[in-house]
Structure 1
Amino acid sequence: MNNVRKSCVTAVITLLVSTLATAAWAATPQISVGTLHTIALKSDGTLWAWGENSYGQLGDGTRVQKIVPVQIGADPDWTQISSGGNHTLALMSDGSLWAWGSNTFGEIGDGSSGSNAFKTTPTRIGSDTDWTQISAGGQHSIALKSDGSLWAWGYNYWGQLGDGTNGNYTDKLTPTPIGSDTDWVRISAGVGYTLALKSNGTLWAWGLNSYGQLGDGTNVNKNIPVRIGTDTDWARIAPGHFHTLALKSDGSLWAWGNNAAGQLGDGTNVDKNTPVRIGTDTNWTRITAGGNHYSIALKNDGSLWAWGHNLYGQLGDGTNIWRNTPFHIGIDTDWSRIEASGAWSTLALKNDGSLWAWGDNRYGTLGDGTTIDKYMPQEIIFHLDFDTDGDSVSDGFDACPQAMPIRIAGKTDHWQGLQWVYDNPPLASGDTIRVQSSFADGPLVFDRALAVTLRGGFDCDFTTNSGAPTVIESLTISSASYAVTIDSISIE
């Protein structure tokens, strides 16, 4: 290595990179938020995670909090994800079931339990390959198989597994069949309770019912699936902490359970123990019940709506004002998917695949590289790290006192958004990526030679390394060459 003092440094690194192996299918992009952690599935089938990680719920092999998205393993064939309180479930394209994170009550499903039984990497559960749907609750897990059968495991104090038992010592440490019915089509696990739909459009619920969140007209817990009403047109369900949202096939919105923060959206703060229709609109398409007393929904015009608790800005309206009726958030009409968390964080996807987040960010749950709460939707950029020695500073700038902006330059050499640099604009041979800080945003997947330029622009020590930088995430280097230009130097 050679250490020099400089006023301006330009290091040009030509990288010949190869396209990562891609699956023969395209995954549906998904996001799932647990109590304080977030899991994301990209269209290329890769798995990403960020946020709180005390129990290994991110799956990256550590118990260290992450405030930016990190890729979990290298497998490109994940198809479904679900984040629970402090654990995570996922399915692969072969129908296999995987889990990681907290396992205090057997919510992982591998036959073990206890405060030290957590898993920090994805762990396969059993050998079956016919799993089709998963839902991670507060401390329990629910799943469906291809034959329409219902399975559950984990914490069961309130009867949330639905096997007819409840109380101490009734937890299940491996997937357990619930009843003999084979017509279940949709499941969703909340905090201490479970909702499910059958193929005939009927709604069923069981578990904790202290606020009427089951919707059966009582406040009594149930340890077996109980039919809710007589309607046969239920289409979507979303349990939260103590309240429930649902959509019918006509696009109408319904809510019940705890309403202390106005999270039901009926204009009151009174609990309801049967489904109550919210407004008269019939164009609702997606719903999510925030774990801590708020609700988020989308309409068929792509507009975003929110109501309930808003102390941390989780509604996204730029305030911390609580609202007891659906409130229109912004003017955008390109929202495609929403996900609220077990705490007070909200994440959403737009039609272009971009990821947005807002609300509580104390543990990096939003993934924006900070721990500062956000009161309005903010785009989340995935990062590609050019650091090889683990000091969180891009190679060649280890002694520099500050980070600088990132510039992506194509043939038109213009500034642009960074979230999908490999798609917009398309890159061609001879295009240049100019990296001016410790991060280059991506993911970057190229099938041609590209020039990467690292610029200094301020006075600091510059160290040239003899080898190529190791690029983490989805950029694979097969060869590299250096061309370094240093202006106005004095050797010390």
Structure 2
Amino acid sequence: MLKKMIFIFLILLCSIPSKVMFAASSPFIIDAAIGGNISTALDSEGKVWLWGNQFLTPIRKEIPESIIQVAAGGSHVLALSSGGTVWVLGKNMNGQLGLGNTDYVFHDVFTQVPGITGIKKIAASNERSFALDNNGNVWSWGFSSNNLLGHGTGIMTYTSPTQVKDIPSVKQIVSSQNWTYVLTSHEDLLAWGNHSQGYSMYLITDVDTVVSGVSHSFAIKKDHTLWGWGSGYYGELGNSIRVDEPLPILIPAQTNLNQIAAGNASSFIVKSDHTVWSWGLNSIGQLGFGFSDYNLHLSPQIIQNFTGVDRLIAGENNTLAIKLDGTLWTWGRNVMGQLGLGGQISFNQDIMSPTQIIFTTSSIPTSPTPETNCGKTDNPFEIPENCTSPSEEPSNGSSPTEEKGGDFLLLAGFNRYPDFLDIIANITEWVYKAELEITGYLNISNHW
């Protein structure tokens, strides 16, 4: 009896104008960045996601322009639009948002940085922000300790974007905890920071790309050779010895490189077969091997059972990996929820092997459901007359249209109930009451 009632009810439910949510695929991630306490990702639709600090799972934040790149500092995020504008979110105690002031408020809505346009690349670290314009000029703002902003003036705080003077045309900029690197249009590598007043030129040319960790850096040259310099105490340079290198040295036996990344005393490469190799310090499992130890890993070792990786982003003690299928994976330290795993793990639990980040239904901001002109009824079969939304045209019998709603597709033609779960709850309650009225008893074993 109950099964027949449910079947009839589900048929009738199709005619009830209700908003129903259906699961859809996760976003296809194309870019990501790790800050100190906050991380961010960019999907193929130009939408920005962030987590960490006050967000334990990824949440999508709205920006009125399509975004093409993201960057993250200590507790702030930058987003670059296809139109060349820069948008910022997060903390602003040293003017790192570039809004012309300092404050101690977490800005949880993206705001456009005034005064700069025509931007093609962005970078950030700690309490600093950088932008590279279409003419090769570098702009920087935020906290200028150790001349890391490149202005060399002794001024500690820049609250608005300020052009870095007296440097050649630039095509890449990298910001780290102790240094700022720029790659010129002639493939020369320049750097400033570490108390220097001007910039230094490294004795390395024909550079294709450069990355920097906390205390060590790498460059891949046009001939695909790998060069490294900086701290080698934990074996993070990958040359099988524990020696600091003040100047770039050739790192041997590294072939088929797609990408290099550097963290805090740890290093990673993605090879052309899309496997990931890591070396250096593994005290909290940051190398992704599935365990932690205090043995120094002086040469690259493969992360087992982890393939199909397109790009890797290394933070101070945690890592993000974007796979070819657009999924996002993470491992490492999780003291501020910066892994974005939320309910998948305990808060403050470190993860020692790659784990996929799940984008949940609550990640998507949705517009409030408009109030309807319908009255309420305890009977789910009863549909009040003239039940329409004030902002809607009366139904003409056309089929509902699909609207994106984050991890769900909203069938916009259904607007009676605000949530599918509410509908199920109403169905269950009504069927239980009906069975009691018809049979005089409730047999739980018949329900499913």
Q: TM-score scaled to structure 1, two decimals?
A: 0.69
For residue 163 of structure 1, report the CA deviation from its aligned partner: 1.9
Match of 2:388 in 1: none
The answer to whether the aligner puts 1:161 opposite 2:129 as a matched pair is no
Any unmatched runs of 5+ in structure 2?
1-5, 366-398, 443-448
Counterpart-to-counterpart distance in 2, 1:467 and 1:199: 58
Structure-to-structure mapping, 1:389-428, within 5 angstroms: none
Counterpart-to-counterpart distance in 1, 2:282 and 2:288: 8
Match of 2:418 in 1: 468
SS in 2 for 1:307: strand
Structure-2 change in CA distance of 1:182 and 1:130 (3 Å): farther
Counterpart-to-counterpart distance in 1, 2:105 and 2:52: 20
Deviations 1:432-461 (A, max 9, x none): xxxxxxxxx9623467989xxxxxxxxxxx
Counterpart-to-counterpart distance in 1, 2:66 and 2:21: 19
Match of 2:124 in 1: 136
Read off the aligned partner of 2:282 and give its amino acid letter. Answer: N
Structure-to-structure mapping, 1:451-490, within 5 angstroms: 467-469=417-419, 484-485=427-428
Match of 1:326 in 2: 300
SS in 1 for 2:39: strand
Match of 2:283 in 1: 311
For residue 274 of structure 1, report the CA deviation from its aligned partner: 0.6
Counterpart-to-counterpart distance in 1, 2:20 and 2:148: 50
SS in 2 for 1:188: strand
Out of 265, 270, 273, the position equivalent to 1:298 is 270
Read off the aligned partner of 1:319 and give its amino acid letter. Answer: F
For residue 481 of structure 1, report the CA deviation from its aligned partner: 9.9
Match of 2:368 in 1: none
Q: Which moved more, 1:151-160 or 1:375-384?
A: 151-160
Structure-to-structure mapping, 1:266-285, within 5 angstroms: 266-285=239-258
Structure-2 change in CA distance of 1:131 and 1:123 (3 Å): same
For residue 332 of structure 1, report the CA deviation from its aligned partner: 3.7
Read off the aligned partner of 1:246 and give its amino acid letter. Answer: A
Taking only the aligned residue pairs, the percentage that are identical comes to 31
Structure-to-structure mapping, 1:194-209, within 5 angstroms: 194-208=180-194
Deviations 1:282-319 (A, max 9, x none): 321212211x2211221122110111222221111112
Match of 1:411 in 2: none
For residue 94 of structure 1, report the CA deviation from its aligned partner: 1.5
SS in 2 for 1:158: helix
Structure-to-structure mapping, 1:335-350, within 5 angstroms: 335-342=309-316, 344-350=317-323
Q: Which moved more, 1:147-156 or 1:348-357?
A: 147-156
Counterpart-to-counterpart distance in 1, 2:266 and 2:245: 15
Match of 2:396 in 1: none
Match of 1:444 in 2: 408
Looking at secondary structure, tell me which structure has more strand per residue.
Answer: 1
SS in 2 for 1:245: strand
Counterpart-to-counterpart distance in 2, 1:317 and 1:253: 23
Whether the 8 Å contact between 1:36 and 1:341 is mirrored in structure 2 is no
Alignment size in residue pairs: 376
Out of 95, 98, 107, the position equivalent to 2:87 is 98
Match of 1:185 in 2: 171
SS in 2 for 1:361: coil
Q: Which moved more, 1:271-280 or 1:185-194?
A: 271-280
Whether the 8 Å contact between 1:153 and 1:161 is mirrored in structure 2 is yes
Deviations 1:327-356 (A, max 9, x none): 2111443100111113x1111111000111
Out of 134, 150, 170, the position equivalent to 1:146 is 134
Counterpart-to-counterpart distance in 2, 1:243 and 1:222: 17
- Kindly report the root-mean-square deviation, in angstroms, between the aligned alpha carbons of the 2 structures: 3.5
Structure-2 change in CA distance of 1:136 and 1:386 (3 Å): closer
Whether the 8 Å contact between 1:161 and 1:223 is mirrored in structure 2 is no
Structure-2 change in CA distance of 1:163 and 1:74 (3 Å): closer
Whether the 8 Å contact between 1:251 and 1:285 is mirrored in structure 2 is no
Q: Which moved more, 1:194-203 or 1:68-77?
A: 68-77
Counterpart-to-counterpart distance in 2, 1:51 and 1:468: 29
Structure-2 change in CA distance of 1:283 and 1:260 (3 Å): same
Read off the aligned partner of 1:222 and give its amino acid letter. Answer: S
Out of 62, 65, 75, the position equivalent to 1:86 is 75
Deviations 1:238-268 (A, max 9, x none): 1121211221122222221122222111212
The answer to whether the aligner puts 1:383 opposite 2:360 as a matched pair is yes
Match of 1:119 in 2: 107
Out of 220, 226, 237, the position equivalent to 1:247 is 220
Match of 2:39 in 1: 38
For residue 237 of structure 1, report the CA deviation from its aligned partner: 1.1
Q: TM-score scaled to structure 2, two decimals?
A: 0.75
Whether the 8 Å contact between 2:341 and 2:358 is mirrored in structure 1 is yes
Structure-2 change in CA distance of 1:77 and 1:27 (3 Å): farther
Whether the 8 Å contact between 1:387 and 1:469 is mirrored in structure 2 is no
Deviations 1:196-238 (A, max 9, x none): 1011111111101xxxxxxxxxxxx322222101x33111111
The answer to whether the aligner puts 1:238 opposite 2:211 as a matched pair is yes
Structure-2 change in CA distance of 1:387 and 1:268 (3 Å): closer
Match of 2:62 in 1: 73
Counterpart-to-counterpart distance in 2, 1:138 and 1:483: 51
Looking at secondary structure, tell me which structure has more helix per residue.
Answer: 2
Whether the 8 Å contact between 1:27 and 1:45 is mirrored in structure 2 is no
Structure-2 change in CA distance of 1:96 and 1:66 (3 Å): same
